[in-house]
Structure 1
């Protein structure tokens, strides 16, 4: 089976990749830099973090196919939203990107983000839990577990897989 290298060790993200790509690829997680701030604060930074993670794996880990996932925050007018992006890159130079759902963040969360805290740490305090980012994620807390972090990234992974399959059909 082919190997898919993923630029994360976060189990919620890896679970989402295995769920979508596991029948086609052996999935391996790697600790890689995102090349963006640890708390991306724009849609562009979040997308770039996902792309950078995938490209790093192609260039430094000699991956044939690599996937980067990044969670972040974006602002529309003065309202803060949770956002997430994914990128799938091949060593043949093909690249695919996809963005996910948006959900507003509560004012008490936004205040801490403006002070420079990372969303994962803020959500641990907000929900009075540990390791929210590795489990249900902010989206799980904010949706009462109707959508978890793994599910949110699974949606992105399905978008990426579909683009990748479609491109391979036409080549």
Structure 2
């Protein structure tokens, strides 16, 4: 099976690879634009970015499935939550979507995002590290390393693959 990943981000690539047999799968990662703001600011925008990446990956990579993973934030009455969404595109079916972990961002970070900054650079500054988004992610920082970005996106990809195999099995009967 040829799996096209709509990102060059190492955490996202590893997460997708974690969910498929390495012997039975071929992986290609492409830099697919999300088609949304660099900092998605709602579930709907984050979902749209994931779908755009999945559909674009499938089309450009000419594979069996395309996977798009997108991180964003969602404003709530409790404050600004980190959110993440994924989509799986395959020929002949509507994209599948799944959402993952959520947690409240500290106001120090949230206020900078509301002012128009993007989470990745804000986290680099906040954690005094480089490339947090390509390593542990905000989730790794704020869970004290108990959950990292690969873990978060692996869970999300597992939800997508589970839905996909369910739908494929339904078609066989």
The interval holding the TM-score normalised by the smaller chain is over 0.9
Question: How do 1:1-171 residues align onto structure 2 when only pairs under 5 Å count?
Answer: 2-23=1-22, 24-77=24-77, 79-171=79-171
User: What displacement does 1:78 show?
Assistant: 5.2
Length-normalised TM-score, structure 1 = 0.95
Q: 5+ unaligned residues in a row in structure 2: which ranges?
A: none
SS of the aligned residue for 1:170 comes to: helix
Larger deviation, residues 51-60 vs 26-35: 51-60
Distance across 2 between alignment mates of 1:60 and 1:15: 20
User: What displacement does 1:22 show?
Assistant: 3.9
- Does the Cα contact within 8 Å between 2:74 and 2:81 map onto a contact in 1? yes
Q: 5+ unaligned residues in a row in structure 1: which ranges?
A: none
Larger deviation, residues 55-64 vs 92-101: 55-64
SS of the aligned residue for 1:80 comes to: strand
User: What displacement does 1:65 show?
Assistant: 1.0
Query: Can you list the C-alpha shifts for 1:112-138, whole angstroms capped at 9, x where unaligned?
Result: 112211100000000000000000000
Distance across 2 between alignment mates of 1:32 and 1:22: 24
Larger deviation, residues 14-23 vs 136-145: 14-23
Length-normalised TM-score, structure 2 = 0.94
Distance across 1 between alignment mates of 2:85 and 2:99: 4
Distance across 1 between alignment mates of 2:53 and 2:106: 29
Number of equivalenced pairs? 170
- Does the Cα contact within 8 Å between 1:64 and 1:91 map onto a contact in 2? yes
